[in-house]
Structures are given as structure tokens and as C-alpha cells.
Structure 1
Amino acid sequence: MIIGYVLLSWLPNVRESFVGQLLGKLVEPYLTPFRKIIPPIGGMLDISPIIALFALQFVVLGIKEVIRYIAGMF
């Protein structure tokens, strides 16, 4: 969803469509904290979605390891 939202940002008219607004409502609450911490580079390039994806991947890997540890106990 994040990648789709970023791609829609290149097409402003599509972002205003139903799909664009729906993605915005789903993705923006997750991206907002990253945007508060990471300013745009050169005032234009927003890398916060990239950092957000890395953070999400890190959390997913952590959850997988916890589940693998718990499953190994039984």
C-alpha cells in the first residue's frame, strides 16, 4: 500500500480519486510519525516512506522470530 501511495503521489489527479483517498487514509497515519522525524531532502524528496518500509520489515522479522521461538518451545 505504501508503494502504491508513493506512486500515486506522482499523479496528482489520480491521488484525488477514490482509490487515492482510500490509500491516503490507510497509509498516512503510519507515515506521519516518520515525516515528523525525517525532513524532505532538498525540500522536495520525501524519503520517509522508504524508512517506514524498512521499519515495517524490521518489525515483521522480529514478530517472525518471536513466533519461531515460541513454536520451538512446544
Structure 2
Amino acid sequence: MLLVGTLIDLYSLVVIGAVIVSWVQLPPSNPAAQFLTALTEPALGPIRRMLPSMSGLDLSPMVLLIGLQFLKRLFMV
């Protein structure tokens, strides 16, 4: 169970990294941006399709992070 919690924490950091990269607006050809997008888009894409953007603000990373913390607590019981 500790491994699951650690993996969820690591993926949460990857999601936060992707958010920071989107704020800094690295060019899409940047290897770091491509790597983070490749890791996070499979989880963020479906959330984006269900959740409308609010005045251009993408809330899908926040929803994903809340969901990850919920899963972590579920597995750590």
C-alpha cells in the first residue's frame, strides 16, 4: 500500500509540473513539455471533455489532483 501512495504522490508532482510548464508557456517542441504532456494528457483529457473551461481557466488539473488524493486515502486505509 505504501507503493501505491508513493506512486500517487509522484504522479501528483508530475501534474503540478505540467501546470507550471503551461503557465511558463514553453514551446511545444521542448522535450520537458512533451514529456509532461505525454504523462498527464491521458488523465487530463477526459476530465477536460467533461468539465467546461471557466473563462479560459482549465480546472482539470485541480480535479485530477483531488481525485488522486481521494484514491490515495482510499488505498491507505
- TM-score, length of structure 2 as denominator length: 0.76
Higher relative contact order (CA 8 A, sep 6+): 2
Q: Percentage identity across aligned positions?
A: 34
2:74 to 37, 62, 67: 62
1:13 paired residue number:
26
2:58 paired residue number:
46
Consecutive unaligned residues of structure 2, counting only runs of 5 or more, are: 1-13
Structure with larger Rg: 1
Per-residue deviation, residues 14-60 of structure 1 (Å, max 9, x unmatched): 55311110010001101111111111002x10111101100011011
**Aligned residue-pair number:** 64
- TM-score, length of structure 1 as denominator length: 0.78
Any idea what SS the aligned residue of 1:10 has?
A: helix
